[in-house]
Structure 1
Amino acid sequence: MLPARRAGRTRPRRALVPVLSVLIAVAGLAACGSGGDDGTPAPSAAAVTGYPTAVPAGTKLRVGDQGDTLRGPIELSGQGTDLPYSVDWSTFAAGPLLLEAFRAKAVDIGFVADTPPVLAAASGQDLAVVASWKSSGDQMTLVTRPGSDIDDLADLKGKKVAYSTGTILQAFALRALDSVGLGQRDVEQVNLLPTDIGSALSRGDADAGVLVEPLASPYLKDNPTARLVVSGGSVAPFVQYLITTRDVLDDPAKAAAIGDFVKRWVRGLTWRDTHVDEFVQKQYVEKQNQPAEIGKLLLTKQGVATFTPIDGSVVEGAQKLADLFKDSGVIPKKLDMSKLFDTRYNSAVEEATK
């Protein structure tokens, strides 16, 4: 059985759900040709003619969420009403688990950060990225254990560094190391769940580690002799994707439903970013029984989401990450990341952002 929780069956644990909502540890493949000379993905027939818009009666869209990241903004903004299809929500603890659900054909669409698709592409998994957005905040930080003499990233050479394999935490760590000419081979990785890294640092089981909010701020407050080595925004933008599969896109009913879902997601996330107090009250305080300050911290650290069309710059960012993973020995061979993206829903994003 897949490690998923059907929404509504169990009550989210107070601390874990918002944490996993931002771990996004995790986040296509439909354009069939190779990229053009300028690095942009070659348009498929779908990219030229657009996607089907007629949703037949009885269509169901199975959506894979992490925490309540997709469902919250869509439903609280009113974008979840009057759907021309039914939605079957499933919640996953991390991006790699969601990828397993795609392999089992148990979900039709979901979201991950930019790391899981690289690993999926390396294994030959059928995925398609249909929408992309960046967040402006500092959700992740690389911090030291209490009392450490580590002053900067170069001091991490030969040290034990804690981050989760196959997640955006790993990508953050590798990008940070790469900025000073180091790679994964230059440190001893301590592979832990994101929620266990702070405790490991406090015990001295690792010299440094990648923490996400709402774990990073309390850790630094409770451990005043720990040091913040680098924060997220100075390493790389926080990129997330809506993903599906070629099999799903080949189904006209599902493809039409995805087009509608993309527009609702863009509008829902825009509403969240412009109604922060209302969203915090409804999502974190009333729905998850979290203190308002936790919700505000999370949204502040996430920053404002900006949707961008899938174009050459998006593909280039994914390619750089894949090349970094290859050079660090995480994946065995060079990948052509242009094959992971499908441009047919760019018009849906454009329409929803007007």
Structure 2
Amino acid sequence: MTPARRAGQGRPRRTSVLAALSALLAVFVLAACGSHGSGSGSGGDGSGAAASVGATGFPTAVPAGTKLRVGDQGGTLKAPLDLSGQSTGEPYAVDWSTFASGPLLLEAFRANAVDVGYVADTPPVIAAASGQDLAVIASWQNPAGQLMLATKPGSDIRTVSDLKGKKVAFSVGTILQAYLLRSLDKVGLAQKDVKTVNLLPTDIAGALSRGDADAAVLVEPLASPYLKDNPTAHKVDGADTSPSVQYLITTHKALSDPAKQAALGDFVARWVKASAWRDGHIDEFTQKYYVEQVKVPAETGKLLLAKTSPSAFVPIDATSIGGAQKLADLFTSSGVIPKKVDISKVFDSRYNSAVQEAQQ
């Protein structure tokens, strides 16, 4: 089975829960090997040769014959772009690839097989630590509530502090791990204070119901059904309540190509507009995407949208980079990565103007 399937070319039928989950999760695990270097001219402050091109800070004229290779998961990018009409009339060719998992998408970035895709806030931390070529070019926040800490049935665990010395299930190297680290840090604990049970997100609820772990990080649309099916299980009080951070990412190699720079600027603007359309047309998007394409009930689609929208875009600046640095430092202090990293190296602010203009 190939790691990616071209959009529209015989994608296999998916079960409703896994399809919905793949549309929601920005769960990306980066291998700690392979590096393309940081490149030049596109640092975290958006400085360099490309940033001096015109008022936008990037070229806007897309040369004929330009192609942008976009990596997606579960239609998260493509569906809003298509249904909003933002995928029509691009001044460049778009080559879509749909990946079955985050690790396969990041593998494609390492292989120079895609130019742009999306991730949550954990992969840039691991990328900065490992030296992988990665550049965050747009950032948005989704409401809290996508993740929760829950107990096994019949557990006497009530608060995050009660997790000390307990077996906690999550997916290492993903947003689930970041959520756990933030939750533990709130009460002065670190990952070393709990016993790690590393599982795929889709396997966690089953393992927790069997008692294979004392508690776990669960993600919608699996979290709510787990609590319904296990009435003696419950949410853990005091867990992280910060918004979920998402990124559009590319590589410094792509940013060194003026044609790719221009195409990426246009793509960023279209994604901002498509996101706004999706958030303003919940019923239409639910019907046309989740019901008709993903084949899940409307209530499941609306649950997913309620947990992941509206999307609030924020600039790449000292505040957003500072938040990412705090997460990186948390990974370091918890022993997940070996030494302090400068997360600003994987942020590039040149497309802030594209985001701002698209919101007007």
Confirm or deny a common fold (TM above 0.5): yes
Match of 1:337 among 343, 348, 358: 343
Aligned residues: 348
Match of 2:201 among 187, 194, 201: 194
- Is this contact kept in 2: 1:134–1:307, CA < 8 A? yes
Aligned to 1:185: 192
AA aligned opposite 1:174: L
Aligned to 1:205: 212
CA displacement at 1:90 relative to structure 2: 1.2
Distance 2:346 2:195 in 1: 31
AA aligned opposite 2:22: L
Aligned to 1:285: 291
AA aligned opposite 1:287: Q
Distance 1:177 1:257 in 2: 41
Listed one character per residue, the Cα deviations across residues 216-248 of structure 1 (whole Å, up to 9, x for unaligned) are 01000110100101487x432200110001111
- Is this contact kept in 2: 1:161–1:187, CA < 8 A? yes
Distance 1:2 1:32 in 2: 35
Listed one character per residue, the Cα deviations across residues 80-100 of structure 1 (whole Å, up to 9, x for unaligned) are 111111111112233332211
Structure-2 change in CA distance of 1:112 and 1:31 (3 Å): farther
Listed one character per residue, the Cα deviations across residues 135-162 of structure 1 (whole Å, up to 9, x for unaligned) are 1241000101111110100000011111
Structure-2 change in CA distance of 1:2 and 1:243 (3 Å): farther
Structure-2 change in CA distance of 1:60 and 1:231 (3 Å): farther
CA displacement at 1:53 relative to structure 2: 1.1
Distance 2:2 2:116 in 1: 16
- Over the aligned positions, Cα root-mean-square deviation in angstroms equals 1.9
- What's the TM-score, normalizing by structure 1? 0.94
Distance 2:52 2:13 in 1: 42
Superposition pairs for residues 124-143 of structure 1, below 5 Å? 124-143=131-150
Superposition pairs for residues 185-264 of structure 1, below 5 Å? 185-230=192-237, 234-264=240-270
Match of 2:118 among 111, 118, 142: 111
AA aligned opposite 2:219: V
Aligned to 1:148: 155
- Is this contact kept in 1: 2:41–2:256, CA < 8 A? no
Aligned to 1:38: none
Structure-2 change in CA distance of 1:105 and 1:230 (3 Å): farther
CA displacement at 1:12 relative to structure 2: 4.4
CA displacement at 1:56 relative to structure 2: 1.6
Superposition pairs for residues 6-21 of structure 1, below 5 Å? 6-8=6-8, 9-13=10-14, 14-21=16-23
Q: 4+ runs of 1 displaced by more than 4 Å?
A: 27-35
Distance 2:39 2:347 in 1: 6
3-state secondary structure, aligned to 2:236: strand
- Is this contact kept in 2: 1:164–1:194, CA < 8 A? yes
Distance 2:13 2:95 in 1: 18
Superposition pairs for residues 295-334 of structure 1, below 5 Å? 295-334=301-340
Distance 2:25 2:180 in 1: 14
In structure 1, runs of 5+ residues without a counterpart are 36-40
Structure-2 change in CA distance of 1:60 and 1:34 (3 Å): closer
CA displacement at 1:48 relative to structure 2: 4.2
- Is this contact kept in 2: 1:138–1:303, CA < 8 A? no
CA displacement at 1:46 relative to structure 2: 2.9
Distance 1:33 1:24 in 2: 25
- Is this contact kept in 2: 1:31–1:342, CA < 8 A? no
AA aligned opposite 2:59: P
Superposition pairs for residues 67-146 of structure 1, below 5 Å? 67-146=74-153
Structure-2 change in CA distance of 1:71 and 1:42 (3 Å): closer
Distance 1:217 1:231 in 2: 18
3-state secondary structure, aligned to 2:149: strand
3-state secondary structure, aligned to 2:138: strand
- Is this contact kept in 1: 2:21–2:221, CA < 8 A? yes
Distance 1:180 1:3 in 2: 40
Superposition pairs for residues 20-39 of structure 1, below 5 Å? 20-26=22-28
Distance 2:238 2:5 in 1: 32
Identity %: 65
